[in-house]
Structure 1
């Protein structure tokens, strides 16, 4: 730990020296639009790699992300101090915080935090915990319930992460499920579920990236070939039902069974635990169910409203055209109003107590908001250095020669690109049009390759510390973010390897049944092997 901190200090000092060395260089005032010398080169992917590496080594997220942002600014500035600073601040931090889409997501976060605080103060969470305690008797039951709830909330991954986390956290805590395991279950029922649900914000995004094709039809046909998403769901169920864990997660789960659900001392949401002292023991289960149901209904209405449903569009078209940011902000606002009215009319809380919960909810989301802001700014740095054109050029130059192996290659490229940039949707936008062009004369291979792109993007997004969905899962479970990432990566990597091999098989057989059969056997076989090894070593704990 001391060595990692020392390394971090050295890298930070080197970064500051490089920035100070450029102080004598000033803006040249070019008439033409400025293009950095490192634009559309491999250097464009260095800033996120630096941030991710530092975060995993130092276990410190905020400064690691900021160093990555600064490295991107330096690369963009090309030795010009003024251009570097203005790019980091104006185009980076200020730019992402003034983007309407990002602001809508932040509003949704704050309102949801306020609703969770209200439900805690009114006693709804405690009442649900008492009810669940009578019906959910085991650790397996608590985890399976989390998975089922995550699968049911398939409209949007942000909404999924935060809603499932707020509802299930008291239950999993009671049954000594580690916060890291809860974060994994939440994250694995967010993007992987949304990417195989035809009515979701993710389906809407994908259909918009398929030029010259019926986007929704292509999306539905690609579902059986979306191996990473399907195998991730199977992996979750296998881990829970077989009671198997490995890698860093095993330590977290073994400690949780002994009563320590955190394992490490890092608890960024620790002040939220004090909310339990304010809970109203006279609360009713409906004090939680009505707000959650209102949130689901109003968010769905908000999304189809932004897609033009009330202007005459069909519900499918409305979801395809929906603006998730505005829809979630609108839906959460009306759900908050309903929640406050419910508690005031029932006299569960006074109006003043309801208002006091709003800043409490804001505070509960500060860690997620900070990480999201830095992650968005890092993506802005990567975009300004031309990461997308660089990857697109590589793919176009080599796609024709690969053909049968292309689905596996697309999957790996999608994994790396989404991991480095922290965005699935951006990866869709880069790779899907290329795939459509390459396989314009082979519809079945086009479907397989598009599914590989979607699966790779979700896999990279699933593993990336700077992914907004990963950040939301940490926030929803109130788990330390680095703990969540480090415990999740071995599980995601296992499924990724099996998925990659399965895409090679699919590239040659073009059969979903054969490919899925192989993947199914591989996932269950891997879990059975790990379980048998644990039993043989005496480390298996029921």
Structure 2
């Protein structure tokens, strides 16, 4: 099938704009994504209905089957979701979530403490963003529910700690992937002053968006900076708490919604032990699969080398299987009826079906956007007569737009990092690190704002809130941190001083906090 080439046409952004715009306006994610897919298919096939139908069929099939075999990455994420849903239901059945919530009531005294629990867990569990959002959501949700923290607020905390921490930590799935790209850039331009790891470490203080987004999470909790729709969700959550957790569309506990009965004999260890096992097993399998790749290439083992070559999808699945087995132990030792266990497993798997469907649509429109050459068109916009001092902030904004439109920060890394490296090498090599950091920061920013981002989808899944509610409530915070970051990259471009850039960004950050404090009191 021959597709129309839109690499140099502004029409390449239309399917993304239609899908994202309709999702925000109508708040119906699946319909909006579906219309974006259909419109993109029509454009790519020159409005041939028969060819469009074939294209859509092949695109959807490609989500599951790729190059004649199973699409291992997509199906690994689906399997991980199902396994984690089953595990979460078993933890509810065992009484572990109730016991942990009761323990929290004794040790966590207020709503702020419950929110901090989620934030600190999000900071410390930085292996992978998918894992972070779902695992931290499972642990934190019963506690934040008990103290009247809205599910939208929890989703914001999950999303705004997951990706920022993963991109700041070299020992993570993100860090390994980015270092692989950076290593190739340094090699291609003959830069031997620092290694890929050395460059990555130097990029950390320049990643203004990730740094200030993390700070904003803690500021939002401490100062109660609830603005816009977030304020409405928080008010509703507190009202529910005062009405004995009355059910509504935004807040339905797993056992209330599906009928999983919690054991009266659960212990805190029934939650902590399986979750800890899940974390350690996932970390082990990431190192194991990475070491296998190193061995096949006859390279010596190293932690960073293993993370660079790890099979993230397979590691998540293996880790989830181990976690599920230990969750089964917690219910077997209580001698619960096999019928109850089987019912809980099915309920847990079913609870993830909504997220899986959204992911299928998001992956499909991601393929359409790729065929429309949206990324290539957006990247071409920077290749003109641009003042070198403005290059970091322009690349930050453009990377944000690209990640927002495509729903993938990793895809944006793959496209924009080499372009940024080539531009710096051709103009001023001293701009190499600033422009690379701008791409990293912009990619996370766009990913945070995008309704079709898988990380955003899984954050709403981890919090069990409506996906579009999470997108709408997080947007003001993401945009404000983008403004803070833009100032930092402008100063960085003109001064080449990281300290001055951080100082300028912090000054604007303080102003944003002051404005939000005023808005939250209205």
TM-score by length of 2: 0.91
Secondary structure of the equivalent of 2:240? Answer: coil
- Stretches of structure 1 that go unaligned for 5 or more consecutive residues are 1-32
How many Å separate the matches in 2 of 1:264 and 1:416? 38
Q: For 1:211-246, what per-residue CA distance to the aligned partner results, in whole angstroms no more than 9, with x for missing partners? A: 242332222110000000101011111111112221
What does 1:11-160 align with in structure 2 at a 5 Å threshold? 34-90=2-58, 92-98=59-65, 99-160=71-132
How many Å separate the matches in 1 of 2:128 and 2:284? 13
How many Å separate the matches in 2 of 1:80 and 1:325? 37
Matched, 1:302 2:279: no
Deviation at 1:411, TM superposition (A): 0.4
Deviation at 1:82, TM superposition (A): 1.9
Q: Is the 8 A contact 1:283 1:348 kept in 2?
A: no
How many Å separate the matches in 1 of 2:48 and 2:269? 59
State the match for 1:362 in structure 2: 349
Deviation at 1:46, TM superposition (A): 1.1
Query: In the alignment, which of 496, 504, 522 is matched to residue 518 of structure 1?
Result: 504
State the match for 1:322 in structure 2: 310
Secondary structure of the equivalent of 1:439? Answer: helix
Residue 464 to residue 507, structure 1, CA distance change in 2 (3 Å): same
Q: How many residues matched?
A: 500
Deviation at 1:256, TM superposition (A): 2.1
How many Å separate the matches in 1 of 2:261 and 2:61? 37
Deviation at 1:385, TM superposition (A): 1.5
Q: For 1:281-301, what per-residue CA distance to the aligned partner results, in whole angstroms no more than 9, with x for missing partners? A: 210111101110111011111
Q: Is the 8 A contact 1:49 1:420 kept in 2?
A: yes
How many Å separate the matches in 1 of 2:217 and 2:510? 11
What does 1:233-312 align with in structure 2 at a 5 Å threshold? 233-259=214-240, 266-267=249-250, 273-274=256-257, 278-308=261-291, 311=295, 312=300
Q: Is the 8 A contact 1:153 1:160 kept in 2?
A: yes
How many Å separate the matches in 2 of 1:264 and 1:496? 36
Task: Name the Cα RMSD after superposition.
Answer: 2.1
- Stretches of structure 2 that go unaligned for 5 or more consecutive residues are 66-70, 187-194
Deviation at 1:444, TM superposition (A): 4.1
Deviation at 1:133, TM superposition (A): 0.8
* Comparing 122-131 and 258-267, the one that deviates more: 258-267
Deviation at 1:434, TM superposition (A): 1.1
Q: Is the 8 A contact 1:206 1:215 kept in 2?
A: no
How many Å separate the matches in 1 of 2:53 and 2:157? 40
How many Å separate the matches in 2 of 1:176 and 1:291? 26
How many Å separate the matches in 2 of 1:193 and 1:439? 27
Q: Is the 8 A contact 2:151 2:250 kept in 1?
A: no
Secondary structure of the equivalent of 2:446? Answer: helix
* Comparing 275-284 and 323-332, the one that deviates more: 275-284
State the match for 2:190 in structure 1: none
How many Å separate the matches in 1 of 2:280 and 2:412? 30
